[in-house]
Amino acid sequence: MKKIVMTAGALSALILTATAQQKSVSMTKETGTTVGIHAGANMYNINGKTANGTELNNKLHTGFSGGVDVAIPLGGGVYVQPGVDFTQKGSETQGGIKTTLNYLDIPLSLVYKPVLGTGNFMLGFGPYLGIGLGGNVTNPDGSSASVVYKDKYDGTVPGNTVQLRKTDAGANFMAGYEFANKLSLNLKAQLGLKDINPDTGSDNTSDKTRYRNTGFGLSLGYRF
């Protein structure tokens, strides 16, 4: 998690440094409701603990994300921005086992867009809800298992599958720059706050299993 926060901070600093070289204007420029599209790459990890309480030591997993959003002005350069994204999350173990999880993410962000140079700096945050669509776990030898989404562990599911909860939820953060030509460079970070491992239905209080998605992504966007 520290690596994700440090990387996100470094990318935000690069965006600020690049745009600060232009003439800054301490005002906001209101626009009407606009629709945006975006696509890019992201890096996610599954953090948490195993059943005996050992911290997971996974590596970042690279995936794709893309989606649409609607920016609705509230005044003063502030916008409410709901959206729908397809997001690939997951992780990779030190032994090379790769987990890819596909989600339909529904973020709801509050975005501040002050004028900076000839465009707008963007800073936003808010909650998100993720709905599991599918996924797979691939072993180094090429064998794989499919991911099925179950809120409660289902003993009738075939043994060559991995069970995870149907929904993911947490906090969504974003920073970026929107150019005068309506193109934008966006940095997004997510902090999963909901466990995605299914309820086993057991009263075993010694089971400390906890899996949560965390990650960040960089994308290009365009507003209509």
Can you give the residue ranges of every domain in the chain?
Answer: 2-23+41-48+62-100+118-162+177-223
**pLDDT at position 25:** 44
**CA proximity to 124, closest of 132, 136, 139, 114:** 114
pLDDT band at 3 (very low <50, low <70, confident <90, very high): low
**pLDDT at position 201:** 73
Of the two residues 154 and 66, the one the predictor is more confident about is 66
**pLDDT at position 206:** 73
Of the two residues 159 and 11, the one the predictor is more confident about is 159
Tell me what the pLDDT averaged over the chain comes to. Answer: 88
Model pTM score:
0.84
pLDDT band at 135 (very low <50, low <70, confident <90, very high): very high
**CA proximity to 114, closest of 174, 22, 28, 31:** 28
Over the stretch 43-90, which tens digit does the pLDDT of each residue have?
999 999 988 889 999 999 999 999 999 999 999 999 999 999 999 999
SS3 207: coil
